[in-house]
Amino acid sequence: MSSKQIILSYENLVLAPGRKALSGTIRAGEITGLAGLEGHGQEQFLLALAGFNQPRHSTVEVVAGSGVKNAYRNHHDAAKRGVVYLPRDRRATGIFPVLSVLDNFGMPSMPRFSWAGILNRRKQKEELQRHTDFLSIRYPAMDAPITTLSGGNQQKVLLARLLALQPRVMLLNDPTRGVDLNTRMKFYEAFRKLAREEGIALVISSSEIEEILQICDSVSVFRDFECSKTIGKSQMSMSGVLAAMFGQEEVEL
């Protein structure tokens, strides 16, 4: 049993009609992986935690250090409580293609850098620079259009955008999809640091089992819109995850 603080709890999440309700907790400083065949409920689960399309009778709550629970029903309230979401398709639902790198980075966190309706650009740029150094983001200038960046660097800007919101929980939907190997390795390094050093809880849905085995502390495997199995770090294996995905028992060789 982990001694780490519970930071998020969910109850009665039904991902499809006739499926079993899901209840559980997410702990600070842990990286939880979500695996499953495409369209088996892991994305719906992640979206529900993020405040999108929550089932009618479900409850998702952020747990404060004092134990006080704060429920939310939409993604705006989720973000205010420190629960942030990275979409799977950065081009369709992530970046603002007509805006600059700086504006893409700063749009959601603008209230942090504003006073009496006036935006403090200097502080916003300092914050972007801090995350640029952390994630090794490459761009010609902060005011350059974000579409001039490579796909991997666009994804880094989106991750920096979430970090500027000072999150407690990060919900990442296939975050390394379509990025090169160097960017992937940088993300893995960043995820570990955010969990271990900052105490942020990360929930990562990934289409690659190898990725989950490499960076996650546990994996919840989804099948037919239910969590068919949760596997801890010491028991995680390619064969075990695949068996759970297909509703089979793991065969030991």
Measured CA to CA, the distance from residue 101 to residue 235 in angstroms comes to: 42
Q: Is residue 252 part of a domain?
A: yes
C-alpha 127 chain-centroid distance: 20
Residue that finishes a domain, picked among 111, 141, 166: 166
Q: Has residue 88 been placed in a domain?
A: no
Residues of the chain falling short of pLDDT 70: 1-3, 250-253
Domain's final residue, options 125, 147, 166: 166
Query: Could you tell me which residues are beta bridge partners of residue 218?
Result: 32, 232
pLDDT (0 to 100) of residue 2: 60
From CA 133, how far away is CA 126, in angstroms rounded? 11
C-alpha distances out from residue 210 to 16, 68, 213, 214, Å: 28, 37, 5, 6
2, 51: one domain: yes
Task: Kindly state whether residues 5 and 72 are assigned to the same domain.
Answer: yes
Can you give the pLDDT at residue 140?
Answer: 97
Do 212 and 144 fall into the same domain? Answer: no
pTM for this model (two decimals)? 0.94
- If asked whether residues 177 and 239 sit together in one domain, one would say yes
Please say which residue of 166, 201, 218 terminates a domain. 166
**CA 22/CA 15 separation, integer angstroms:** 8
Number of domains in the chain: 2
Q: Say if 177 falls within a structural domain.
A: yes
Is residue 69 in a domain? yes
Residue 90 belongs to some domain of the structure: no
Residue type, 49: L
The pLDDT of residue 105 is 97
List CB contacts of 68: < 8 A, sequence separation 6 or more.
Answer: none
So what's the pLDDT on residue 252? 52
User: Are 221 and 139 within one domain?
Assistant: no
Looking at the domain assignment, is residue 87 inside a domain? no
Residue 74 sits in a domain whose CATH number is 3.40.50.300
In angstroms, rounded to a whole number, what is the distance separating the alpha carbons of residues 147 and 157?
11
Verify that 178 and 246 share a domain, yes or no: yes
Per the structure, the complete domain to which residue 8 belongs is given by: 1-82+167-253
Helix axes 151-163, 181-196, angle to 10 degrees: 10
Tell me if 154 is assigned to some domain.
yes
Whether 187 and 248 map to the same domain: the answer is yes
Residue 137 lies in a domain: yes
